[in-house]
Amino acid sequence: MRIGELAKRADVSRDTIRFYERHGLIRSDVDPKADNSYRIYAEDAVLTLEVIRDAQAAGLSIAEITVFMGQFMAQDGETHDAQQFLEDRITEVTTRITASTRFLDMLRQTKAALARAPQDGLREMSKAKPDTGKKGQGSDT
């Protein structure tokens, strides 16, 4: 298919597709039996764009997604780097999901508190604590 159709089907702009392509996230060929310069995209490009969307939601940068796509398509070795990369991403994404969920709870609690005491403000909310469990050594250097 051509870029316009892909754009419609994946719900992204043509410019975005071109941007991704420049960054190696997606590929296209030129129809050899046409003498124009129109690029042709495979069917699975739609899927690829959806994966890119998810990957971005998960916090990966374009550069990282490019690597992932490369890994995904890879045929040759470099298995070690690949494994390591994937492991790192898994850790990061997991962490992000945890933080997001924590924040989601906070949103819900805030909303509930607000519903409970509309004009009163929500000073009592102060009790809602995040529960990080990581940093914060109690004193200065």
Interaction residues for a copy of itself, span 76-115 (CB under 8 A)? 76-77, 79, 82-83, 86-87, 89-90, 93-97, 99-104, 106-108, 110-111, 114-115
Rounded to the nearest whole angstrom, what is the least distance from the CB of residue 123 to DNA in the complex? 27
Rounded to the nearest whole angstrom, what is the least distance from the CB of residue 10 to DNA in the complex? 12
Closest C-alpha among 82, 25, 90 to residue 53? 25
Strand-pairing partners, residue 29, are: 40
Residues 30-89 interacting with DNA (rule: CB under 7 A): 34-39, 56, 61-63
Place of tokens 């924590």: 102
Per the CB < 8 A criterion, the answer to whether 128 and 116 are in contact is: no
10, 12, 49, 113: residue in contact with DNA (rule CB under 7 A):
12
Rounded to the nearest whole angstrom, what is the least distance from the CB of residue 31 to a copy of itself in the complex? 17
Query: Per this entry, what is the length of the chain?
Result: 141
119, 126, 137, 141: residue in contact with DNA (rule CB under 7 A):
141
Other residues' Cβ atoms within 10 Å of the Cβ of residue 97: 12
Other residues' Cβ atoms within 10 Å of the Cβ of residue 26: 22
Amino acid identity of residue 66, one-letter, is: T
Where does this chain bind DNA (CB under 7 A)? Answer: 2-5, 7, 12-16, 18-19, 28, 34-39, 56, 61-63, 140-141
